[in-house]
Amino acid sequence: MLKTLSIIILFAIPVAAISQICSGSLGDPVGNYTFSTGGALKANSTSYTYTPEACPRDGFYTIVSSTTRCFADTWHEVSEDHTPGDLNGYMMLVNASADPGIFYVDTIKGLCGKTTYEFAAWVMNVLKPTACGGNALLPRLTFTIETLDGIVLGGPYSTGDIPASNTPDWKQYGLFFNTPEAVSDVIIRVINNNTGGCGNDVIFDDITFRPCGPGISAGIVSNAGGLVNVCEDDPAVFVLNAAVSSGYANPSLQWQQSVDGGSTWTDIAGAQTASFTRLPTIPGNYQYRIAAAEAENITLSRCKVASNVLTIIVNSKPDIQTEIRSPACIGTTITLKASGGTRYSWEGPSGFRSGEQNPPLEVTAASAGSYQLTVTTQAGCVDATTIELLTIPQPIVSAGSDVSICEGTTAALLATGGVRYQWLPSAGLSSSVVSNPLASPSDTTRYKVVITDGNECSDTALVTVNIWKKPRAIAGADQYLFEGDTVQLNGSASGTDITFFWTPEVPVNAVTPRVHPGSNTTYTLHVESERGCTAATDEVFVRVYKKLTIPNAFSPNSDGINDNWQIINLDTYPDSRIVVFNRYGQQVYAAAGYSGAWNGSNNGKPLPAGTYYYIIDLKISRPVLTGWVFIAR
């Protein structure tokens, strides 16, 4: 059936069930037995049999760092031993046998004679309340302390029934016992006192012994709390007093100090009275207590008891770190940087004050001088330092005078006053990082140059490059007109400070004049710059179409008179097309362009006399011409 014993001991948790009460003070644990090595116990340490299985059967035990839900989930799952956070710690898991037996027996050596000790261990009932149908046997343990020759010094002490719980629940059990004079070794026994059956399964861990003695109380004069915070270099002297109750036949005292949070304690040389005067020390966290024992045992830590702990914290002054850019250039903004505290106070020339950690400072000629910084830590410790700021005048810089150039040409710029140059914008410059770049921007541009001298101080200068836009001439699209008509030229002229004119001369000098040439003419628009920039020209062709004379009759009879249909001026329309039809709509003549007059034949045969109909398309975006012509024979 299910039976397991588990016991744990941890001196950081108060004893929950002790057979006697230590009415005085306790000392440090003499030993802490934690099963830390794992594996089987040494011979004769238990009447149970070791098994490496995680779920031991009746009459067996194992040493584990955690437990699983053994036997159909009737045992608790325990993720670690009793020591919180010790995932690799071990504990003893026992499934008790049907008959009472010895869970654990060991010999404890090195105790002090004539001393009272507390023995304690941590135990857990590993069974859930629902195990064994809710009627599981509860563990019941007996503790005894004996001398090596069998004399009982403490106990027997019974834990009583250790109840089941819904969640894993460690409980500490123990007793007090007195060692006779000259007795330093004792035997401890933990016995299973319940009968076998379903249940009686436990975990056992962390066995400790601690000396118990008269009550000791310690305090700091003029401080009720036992905790003092001071700052480094504070000259204060603290008096520590202790009161020791009666109980020792020949008591001896020893003040102790710990600088590692109480993990280890060191005797303070010469501090063997109830009062101790603490002188100033370097920064640190100091803990103090007074230990007491019989005079012959005062040097033995396993025999002494100790008072409550007093704490004096000596806080360091601020570790002030500063950073400043010095010398600083006038006209710039720098940052005064500091670290090492939680509060900062700056004071400097010209009434400068700031409570910021890293305040900005606009540097002027009056900014030079000493800046005092006071830093306070979270603990209230204060220190101060001084930093010096030197200033350097800004460089005397120039980018030269503004300049004007024709579009497409270059201007030589020149900046002075530094060793490094940065021009903005860079567009239109031959280089943006030289003192004398060539500038040819497409539009008027204002350039800024950042000039840095050998002290890394900078200033800026400005220069404008004005662009005279070069002349641009657009004469417009080619035009046409009929003889005797007028047409408007759609020209345009642009540029800076320009003049313009047309050749041949137009009636009115405008960019969009109206003209009426008598024949085909090419007009040229001239645009010139008053700033000396390159002139521009553009041409437009105007075609002049002649008026047509279309005869309505001819007589192709070879008499030399009106033998052909002669259309006057049609030859000036090179793309024209003529089509002639008879009265039945049949095409009898067609011609593209005007290669010659029609002789009134179709495919080389004379057409009969009569009326014929024509369509003339001049191909000049004008309506077609239609009409009739009579052939006489």
- Cα torsion at 81, 83, 88, 94 (round to 10°)? -20
User: Per CATH, which fold does 472-545 belong to?
Assistant: Immunoglobulin-like (2.60.40)
CATH tag for 403-466 (out of 3.40.1350.10, 3.30.830.10, 3.40.50.300, 2.60.40.10): 2.60.40.10
CATH tag for 216-315 (out of 3.20.20.140, 3.30.70.3000, 2.60.40.10, 3.40.50.1390): 2.60.40.10
CATH tag for 553-631 (out of 2.60.40, 3.30.450, 1.10.260, 3.30.700): 2.60.40
What pLDDT score was predicted for residue 122?
94
Enter the pTM of the model. Answer: 0.58
Q: In angstroms, how far is CA 269 from the centroid of its own chain?
A: 53
Q: Where in the chain is the domain with CATH 2.60.120.260?
A: 5-213
Residue for token digits 């460089």? 395
Distances from the Cα of 227 to the Cαs of 215, 222, 232, in angstroms?
21, 11, 16
Instruction: Say if residue 308 is exposed, middle or buried (CB neighbours under 10 Å; 0-12, 13-18, 19+).
Output: middle
588: Cβ contacts below 8 Å, ≥ 6 apart: 580, 581, 582, 602, 607, 612
Helices (H), 227-279: none
Give dist(CA 479, CA 307) in Å, integer: 119
Q: Do the beta carbons of residue 344 and residue 374 sit within 8 Å?
A: yes
pLDDT digits (tens, 9 = 90+) for 517-536: 999 999 999 999 999 999 99
Mean pLDDT for each 10-residue chunk of the chain (633 residues)?
A: 28 41 82 82 93 93 93 93 84 88 92 90 94 91 94 92 94 92 92 83 91 94 92 94 91 97 95 96 97 92 93 97 95 96 97 98 96 97 97 95 97 97 98 98 97 94 98 96 93 97 96 95 98 97 92 93 93 92 96 90 95 95 93 92
User: Per CATH, which fold does 321-392 belong to?
Assistant: Immunoglobulin-like (2.60.40)
What pLDDT score was predicted for residue 301?
87
Hey, how many other C-beta atoms are within 10 angstroms of the C-beta on 625? 15
Distances from the Cα of 405 to the Cαs of 126, 500, 533, 569, 573, in angstroms?
99, 21, 9, 54, 50
Q: Where in the chain is the domain with CATH 2.60.40.10?
A: 216-315, 321-392, 403-466, 472-545
Distances from the Cα of 184 to the Cαs of 40, 119, 228, 275, 446, in angstroms?
27, 15, 40, 32, 99
pLDDT digits (tens, 9 = 90+) for 288-300: 999 999 998 899 8
Residue (of 338, 339, 335) closest to 360 by Cα position: 335
Helices (H), 13-117: 70-73
What pLDDT score was predicted for residue 88?
78
What pLDDT score was predicted for residue 21?
55
User: Per CATH, which fold does 5-213 belong to?
Assistant: Jelly Rolls (2.60.120)
Instruction: Say if residue 494 is exposed, middle or buried (CB neighbours under 10 Å; 0-12, 13-18, 19+).
Output: middle
Hey, how many other C-beta atoms are within 10 angstroms of the C-beta on 467? 21
Distances from the Cα of 54 to the Cαs of 62, 88, 99, 139, 329, in angstroms?
7, 15, 22, 20, 76
